[in-house]
Amino acid sequence: MRLVLGSASPRRKDLLKELGFDFRVLTAEADESFDPQQSPEEIVLAICRKKMDAIWPQIEPDERLICADTIVYLDGKVLGKPQHKAAAIQMLQQLSGKTHEVYTGVLIKDEQGEHQLVDCTTVRFQDLRLEDILHYIEHHNALDKAGAYGIQDWIGQIGVIEIRGSYTNVMGLPTQRLYPFLKNLMA
């Protein structure tokens, strides 16, 4: 059974490669809108489902598709990918000095069926200075990340003061849970 990663995320690609799996990458445009009344777990799985539905027609019978989605959840609101720099600045100001959750949903599908998992990591930022936020926005690609930050980036190194849960989950793929899950499926 060959693996297919249904994601344009370079971080997900690198993480899956580091786990030692051979795979190919397929992407497709998918609507990432969601019902704000849904729980964070329901939201990430619903967006995964849209990605999976868009990519599934390209999958061969001997392949297994993996799709994932990550959101930042602060005070009952989802912080997705910012559309422009001003939105990224606003998101980082909202996260400054606060604790938030990062949810990643993963769907795995093959001809035999479908499996899902959701992971949650709690992250706390120290108070961020506006000049540091502006530096990050100007020198790093904050627009392609949920919550406008990458924990592995400069802002994570200077701003994150506490993390409870999976570090790689915050990057977009809960490898500690995914690895044994995939190994078990491939056995």
Reported as a single tens digit per residue, the pLDDT across 69-104 is 999 999 999 998 999 999 999 999 999 999 999 999
- pLDDT of 29: 87
- pLDDT of 84: 96
Residue 1 pLDDT level (bands cut at 50, 70, 90):
confident
145 vs 142: CA distance, rounded Å: 6
**pTM assigned to the model:** 0.95
Q: Is the pLDDT of residue 187 over 80?
A: no
Q: The domain 2-186 is classified under which CATH number: 3.30.950.10, 3.40.50.620, 3.40.50.2300, 3.90.950.10? A: 3.90.950.10
Strands (E), the chain: 2-5, 23-25, 63-74, 77-79, 99-110, 113-125, 160-164
- pLDDT of 71: 95
Residue 186 pLDDT level (bands cut at 50, 70, 90):
confident
pLDDT in tens, 27-48: 988 888 889 899 999 999 999 9
Task: Kindly state the helix (H) or strand (E) to which residue 165 belongs, with its residue range.
Answer: none
The total of other beta-carbon atoms located within 10 Å of residue 49's CB is: 18
3-state secondary structure of 23: strand
- Which residues are catalytic, by number? 69
The total of other beta-carbon atoms located within 10 Å of residue 161's CB is: 12
- pLDDT of 185: 83
Q: Name the residue with tokens 């602060």.
A: 74
First to last CA, the chain: 10
